[in-house]
Chain A
Amino acid sequence: MGKVIQMKGIVKSFGNIIANNRVDFDLREGEIHGLLGENGAGKTTLMNILYGLYSPDAGEIYIDGNRVDIKSPSDAINFGISMVHQNFKLIQSHTVVENVALGLKGTGFFFPARTVERRIREFSQKYGFKIDPHTPVWQLSAGEKQRVEIVKAFCRNAKVFILDEPTSMLTPAETGELFKLLRLLRVEGKSIILITHKLDEVLEVCDRITVLRGGKKIKTVDINEVNKKDLASMMFDQEISFLGRENRMRKVDKDIILEIKNISVLSDKNLLAVKDVSFNIHRGEIFGIAGVAGNGQKELVEAITGLRRTVNGNIYILGRDVTNVGPREILDKGVAHVPEERIRMGVVPSMSLEENFILRSYNKEPFSDGLFLRYDVISNHAKELISRYKISALDEKSPAITLSGGNIQKLILARELTISPVLIVASHPTQGLDMKSIQQIHELLLKQKEDGCAVLLISEDIQELLSLSDRIAVMFDGRISGIRNTDETTIEEIGMLMVGGGDRV
C-alpha cells in the first residue's frame, strides 16, 4: 500500500505552548488510521496543519511522495484532503444542498443546486441512507449533520477524510452507522484519519493507530499488535491517575436542595426543548446529567439558573419557589453557575482578573458601597483567590484572556465558590481542558460535595459522570429517559438511555 500522506518533523507552537513537537505521521492508501491522544495532545493541531488552517513552524508534508505546501483549506481540498471538524462547519440557516455546494468546484455557475442535488442522491443511494437535500441544516440531528459533512467531502472527490472526534456528538447507534460508512469508504480505497480520545473506537474500526501525548508522537502501531491497556499507557502520563468510583465516600443527606417539578422550557427557536422534567438533588449529592448535546440540557440549566423562562412547572431551592425569578435572585439563593461556554459567557475576556472575580458580586458589600466600587478590596480579593486556587496569572490586573482554558475555568469556579453555594450548576466544566486541570476541577467539586453542597453536573463524558456522580439522569429529546444510581449502572445502560431506550420518569 502506498503512502498517501507523510508529515515529517512537524513543529507548531502558540505563544510558549508547543502544540506539536517534531511529529511524524504517515497515512496509507485505503486505511483507517486512528490519531489517539487525550485533549490537548496536539491531534487537532496536527490535522489543522494538514488541512491548511495552520501553517507549521517547521516540518514537511508529502502527498503521494511529492513535497507540498498547504497554505489554506482550498489547497488541501485541491490535494483531495477533506476535514470533518468536531464543531461542524455547516451554515445552520442554509439547506443541505447549499452547504454542500459551498466552495464546490465543477457545479456550473448557474443553478449549482441541481448538480449538487443529484450528487447527494447518488451518494445516499450508494451508501444507503436518507438525506433530504432541501432541509435547512438547523433542523437536522447531529448524526445527520455529520453525514452532510461527509457528503461534502465526498462531493469534493476527497481521497483523504479527516474526522475530528466524530462520535462526540453521536448516539451509540449513530456511531455504529458512521463506522459502517467509514468501512465502505475504505473499501473504495479512501484513506481516513480518525482523531479521537476514545480507546474503544480506535480498536473497533482502525487499522493503524498513532498515539500523541503532550504534543509529541509516542508511537504508530498496527491494531493487531496492541490491546487497550497498551494504548492507555501510551496515551496517559503515568503520574496522573484517574479518580476511581471506589475511592470516595458516598454519603448523601436527606435534605432536598433543588427540586424540579414538571418543568418545560422553550429553546431559542421557540420549540419545546425541555419537556415535563422533574427531579430532586440532595445535600451533598452530585447529580449528573448525561446525554448527547442538544437534548435540552442547555435549556434546563438556563432555566435553573434564571437565564431562561420556563413555560410550565416549578423550581424550588431549599423549598422556596424560584421559578422565573432571574439570575441575580437565583445567585442570592446560593446557586453557583459554571456556564457551558466559559469564554463567551463565564468571563469578560478583555477585563482584568480582579474585575472578573467580582462579575457576580460587584454590586454587593464589600465590593460596592452602593454607588462606587472599592478597588482596594477588589484587588485584595483577587490576590487571595489567585493564590488559594493556584491560578497561574501574571497578576490580578492582567486581562482574563491571557489565561489558559484551565485557569479561566478555575477563575470561574473560584468566583462562584465565594458565595459558599448550596448548589453548584456545572455545565461541561472540564470540556476541552488538559488532564491536570480536569483533575483539579474534579477535586474542587468533590470537596464542595463533602462540605454539603449539592452539585448538578452536566457532561457528555460518561466516564466523568460515572466517576463523580452519585446519581445520573439521562436526557433524551427534552425528557429524562432514566435516573440511575451510579453504583448500580453501567456505561452500556447509560448509553442505551441516551438514545431513548428506557423508562420515563
Chain B
Amino acid sequence: MNLIVDILRAAIPAGTPLLLGTLGEIYVERSGILNLGVEGIMIMGAVTAFGVTTLTSNVWLGIFASTITGGMMALIHAFDCVTLKANQTLSGLALTMLGSGLSGLIGKRYIGMPLSSKLQNVPLKGLVNIPVIGPVLFDQDPLVYISYILAFLFWFFLFNTRFGITLRSVGESPEVADSAGINIPAIQYFAVFLGGIMSGLGGAYLSVAYAPVWIEGMTAGTGWIVLAITIFSLWRPERAILGSYLFGGVRVLQYRLQPLGISPNILNMMPFVFTILVLMIASREISKKRIGAPASLGVSYQREKTL
C-alpha cells in the first residue's frame, strides 16, 4: 500500500511537465495547427527558468520568464503556419532544432551548477491528511497545484465558453468559422502562443522543480511524448490528466526498477515503447468511437481565391 502511494505520489511530479505541455498542445491542435516544436520550446523553457532563477534567486521569476520564452518561440511557429502558411511539420521540426541549439548555447554556463532556489513542496493543510489521496495529491510543490487548476480551466474554457466553441470550430472547419465572422488568424495565433506558454512552463518544471539542474538536452523526448499524449487524450483536457500521470508512472517505475539490475538503457526505452503501445490503443478507440483529430489539423487555411 505504501509502495503504491509512494509511486503515485512520485508519478504526479513526473507527469506534471507532460500535463502542462499537453494542455497547451490540445489548444494548439484544437485550433487546427500542429506544433511539432514542443520539444524545442520545452527545453528553452527549462534553460530560461534555470537561468533567470540563478540570476535573480527567485524561482517564480524564472518560471515566469520561461512562459515568455515559450510564448515567443511559439510565435515563430504561428508566423510560419498562419501568416506564411508554410509547412507545419517542417516549421515544428525547425523550432525543435532551434530550441535544442539555442538552449545548449545559453545553458553552457549552467552545466553542473546547483540551483540557488528550487521549488519546495507545500503540503496543503487538512487536505494532506486524507488517506491515500492526501499524500498523493496534496503533498506537492505549488506548480503542481497550479497545474491542477490549469487542467480544470483548460477543460472548462474549451467546453463551456464562447471562446471554446470558437476555438474548436476553427480547428474543425476554418471555412465555417470564417463565414461566421471569426478572425481565424487571431484565434490561431492566440492558441499557438498559449501552447508555447504552457510548453515553456512544462520545461521550467523540469529544471526548477523536478530535477533542479541544467543538463543539455534534459527534456530527452518529453516534448514528443506530449504530442503522443495529446492524441491519447483525444484532444480533451480531462483525459490529458490521465495520460500524463500514466506516463509519469512509467517514469517512476523506470527509476524504481533500476536497482533490480535491469540495464538503465533498456529502462530508458520504456516511455517510448509505452508511447507506441498507448497510441495503438488510442487509435483503436478513435476508430471505434468515430472521433478523431480536429478535422483540419495541419492544413493551412486560405480563403478560396478562385471560382
Interchain residue pairs A-B with the least CB separation, the first 4: A74-B181, A103-B180, A89-B176, A112-B162
Cα distance, A17 to B176, chains bound together (Å) = 26
Question: In the complex the two chains form, what is the Cα distance from A47 to B123 in whole Å?
Answer: 63
Q: In the complex, A92 Cα to B183 Cα: how many Å?
A: 20
Q: A91-B173, A107-B162, A270-B290 in contact; A73/B307 too (CB < 8 A)?
A: no
Contact A103–B182 (Cβ < 8 Å): yes
- Is the CB of B163 closer than 8 A to any CB of chain A? yes
A85 and B179 in contact (CB under 8 A), knowing A14-B306, A93-B295?
A: yes
Interface string of B268-307 (1 = CB under 8 A from A): 0000000000000000000000110001000000010111
B202 to chain A, nearest CB (A): 27
B230 at the interface (CB under 8 A from A): no
CA–CA, A75 and B181, complex, Å: 8
Whether A89 contacts B180 in the complex (CB less than 8 A), given A101-B162, A110-B160, A112-B165, comes out as yes
Q: 13 A-B residue contacts at CB 8 Å?
A: A19-B307, A72-B181, A73-B180, A73-B181, A89-B180, A91-B169, A93-B295, A94-B168, A102-B165, A104-B162, A109-B162, A112-B161, A152-B180
Tell me if A111 is interfacial: C-beta within 8 Å of chain B: yes
Q: Is B25 an interface residue (CB 8 A)?
A: no
B181 & A14 in contact (Cβ 8 Å cutoff): no
Q: Are A108 and B162 in contact (CB under 8 A)?
A: yes
List chain A residues, Cβ under 8 A from B307.
Answer: 14, 17, 19, 45
Contact residues in A for B291 (Cβ distance below 8 Å)? 93
Verify B295–A102 contact, CB threshold 8 A. no
* Given A83-B179, A103-B177, A91:B162 Cβ within 8 A: no
Question: Quick check: is A98 within 8 A (CB to CB) of the other chain?
Answer: yes
Q: Is A315 an interface residue (CB 8 A)?
A: no
B165 touches A98 (CB 8 A): yes
Could you tell me which residues of chain A, from 264 to 278, have a CB within 8 Å of some CB in chain B?
269-270
Given A89-B175, A91-B176: A102 and B303 within 8 A (CB)?
Answer: no
Q: How far is the CB of A56 from chain B (nearest CB, A)?
A: 14
Interface residue B147 (Cβ < 8 Å from any Cβ of A): no
B-contact bits for A77-88, CB 8 A (1 contact / 0 none):
100000101000
| A94 and B169 contact, CB distance less than 8 A | yes
Alpha-carbon distance between A109 and B161 when the two chains are bound, in angstroms: 5
Task: Give the distance in Å from the alpha carbon of A236 to the alpha carbon of B291 in the complex.
Answer: 47
A194 at the interface (CB under 8 A from B): no
Min CB distance, A187 to chain B, in Å? 27
A residues less than 8 Å from B163 (CB atoms): 109
B139 interface contact, C-beta 8 A:
no
Contact residues of B between 57 and 77, Cβ < 8 Å to A:
none
Chain A hits for B306, CB < 8 A: 14-15
Interface pair A111/B178, CB less than 8 Å apart: no
Complex interface: chain B residues within 8 A of A75 (CB): 181
